[in-house]
Each structure stands twice: as structure tokens, then as C-alpha cells.
Amino acid sequence: MVSVACFCVGKELLIGKTVNTNAYWIGGRLFRIGIMLDRILVVTDSLRDISSGFNQLLAENPDFIIVIGGLGPTPDDMTLKGLARALNTRLKLDKTAVSLMEKRYAALGRTFEMTPARRKMAELPQGSTALPNDAGTAPGVRIEKSATVVFCLPGVPREMRSIYSRSVHPEIRKKVGKLYTAKVVMDLMGIYESSLAPMISQALKEHPSAYLKSHPKGIKDGRSSVELDIVVVSTKKEEAEAECGSITSFFTAGITAAGGSIIRQVASTAGR
């Protein structure tokens, strides 16, 4: 299975100033093609923390690391400098990055002047590649380190999503290949999550690659309400649907025997 880690940089994410919607959005995009984020690491705007955090993720040898935040012109934007330190290389003015910035300014009807702040956004770690940013001025960055591909994206959500959709997602999707996701969502009444726990344990023993998750919804009309998600991913549609169906039948019998009821059940299969 393809492994992806998300590395988010920004003090605002750690002090309750900003909700980390970027990692949430990327996690959803990946799950829809049959994989999920292995890890989300968040650090503050510090060269030491950026460098050590990045090395920590690299040591796990993921297929991809998506770095978000800290690519702008202000002093606290030091992500690329931190990555260069971790990679034991230097920052260098990148001609492609400068060209992309000039084109972006022209598209906005603005005159481009190479100020120190703008030069900072065009200085990339040696050996990296600048990526177009159709929603902002700071280019994205692609770096290869051993078997890991690293993408650096701005923290502004619309810019992050633009670069991700254009340059990141297609490469990850190609690496993942064709996968089918069979999913069943059950809305349950009259059964507590603690009663579902042994059923989930048993199902995971028999189907270790499945994603099984219960979500308690509180008490309604004196009865416990729980949502149960069943997700199976396979390279073959028939196998995904068959395994998901088998797990669903197992839970249907167990829930009924425990005195619960299924008030709604929605099944779907998607291929990406």
C-alpha cells in the first residue's frame, strides 16, 4: 500500500488560532482513492523543529511526504531553509521559480520586482523542482530523497489545493494504481458502542485489512445511537464488494442478537 505522511508547519496550528483544514482536506482526497494518511506531524516555525521533524518522517521511508506551510515571504516562513538543513544542502535561487512568479504577477496585472522578500520565495533546496501556483505567488516545490517524493505546498488553503490538484494528486494516484472501495454505513439504535466492541475485534481478526469504525451519536429517545462504518479496499471490484458484504452480514446478525436495530444502511462502491 502506498504510504503518505503530512508535515504541517505553523505556530498558528498549535495555539488554537487556525484549524488544520489542509490535512483534513488531503486526508479526504486520499481516502477517496483507496489510501489514507499514515501520519500527520505538526511543528512550529522553528528551523530546529522543521529539520528534526522532517528527518523523523524521512526515517520512516514513506512513498510521499506532503509538507504544508512556511513558503511565503515573511521571516517566520522558514520551511525550505529547514528542509535544506535536514537534507544537508543549500538554498539556491531557482530560475524556474522566478519565471513562475513573473508569469503569475503578469497574470495579475502587477509589475514584478525582485525584492528580498520575493527572492526568498524563489530560493529552493538544490536539486528540487518548482511547481506552478495558479492561486498565489509562492511556487510549490518537489524534492526526491531516496525512495521518498516530497512536495512542499503553501499553507493558504486555496493555494495548497490548487498545487495539490495539479501536481501532487496525479502523481500519487499513478503510484496507487486502480483500487476499488466498497463501503457500508449503518445507523444503529438500541445498542451501545461497548456491545459492538467485541464484534469489531472479531471482524478485524478475520478481515485485518478492512476499516471498521464505530461513532457514538449519543442517546435518542432513551436509546443509544451509533454509526458503524465498514470499508474494504481491493484491486478487484468483486472482491471488495464480497468482503464488505460478508462483514456487513456478520454485523447484521450480531447487532440483531444483541437487541439493536439497523435504522438505515447505505452501501456504495467507488473505483479510482
Model pLDDT for residues 116-154, shown as the tens digit of each residue? 999 999 999 999 999 999 999 999 999 999 999 999 999
Model confidence at 220, pLDDT cuts 50, 70, 90, reads: confident
DSSP code for 88: T
**Which of 125, 149, 176 is a domain's end point?**
176
Number of domains in the chain: 2
Residues 15, 121 within the same domain: yes
Task: Decide if pLDDT at 185 tops 90.
Answer: yes
3-state secondary structure 21-53: HHHHHHHHHHHCCCCCEEEEEEECCCHHHHHHH
Task: Tell whether 165 and 64 lie within a shared domain.
Answer: yes
Q: Is the entire prediction scored with pTM above 0.75?
A: yes
Do 170 and 184 share a domain, yes or no? no
Residue 116 sits in the same domain as residue 225: no
Q: Do 166 and 240 belong together in one domain?
A: no
Pair (8, 135) in one structural domain: yes
CA 72 to chain centre: 21
pLDDT at position 271: 81
Q: What percent of the chain has pLDDT over 90?
A: 97
Question: Is residue 169 domain-shared with residue 218, that is, in the same domain?
Answer: no
Query: Does pLDDT of 191 surpass 90?
Result: yes
Query: What are 11-69's pLDDT values in tens digits?
Result: 999 999 999 999 999 999 999 999 999 999 999 999 999 999 999 999 999 999 999 99
Closest-CA residue to 104 (of 129, 137, 131) = 137
Among 129, 144, 176, the domain-final residue is 176
Q: For all residues of the chain together, what is the average pLDDT?
A: 96
| Same structural domain, 167 and 186 | no
| CATH number for the domain harbouring residue 265 | 3.30.70.360
Containing domain of residue 216, as a range?
180-271
Claim to verify: residue 185 and residue 167 sit in the same structural domain: no
Last residue in a domain, options 153, 176, 199? 176
- pLDDT(272) > 80: no
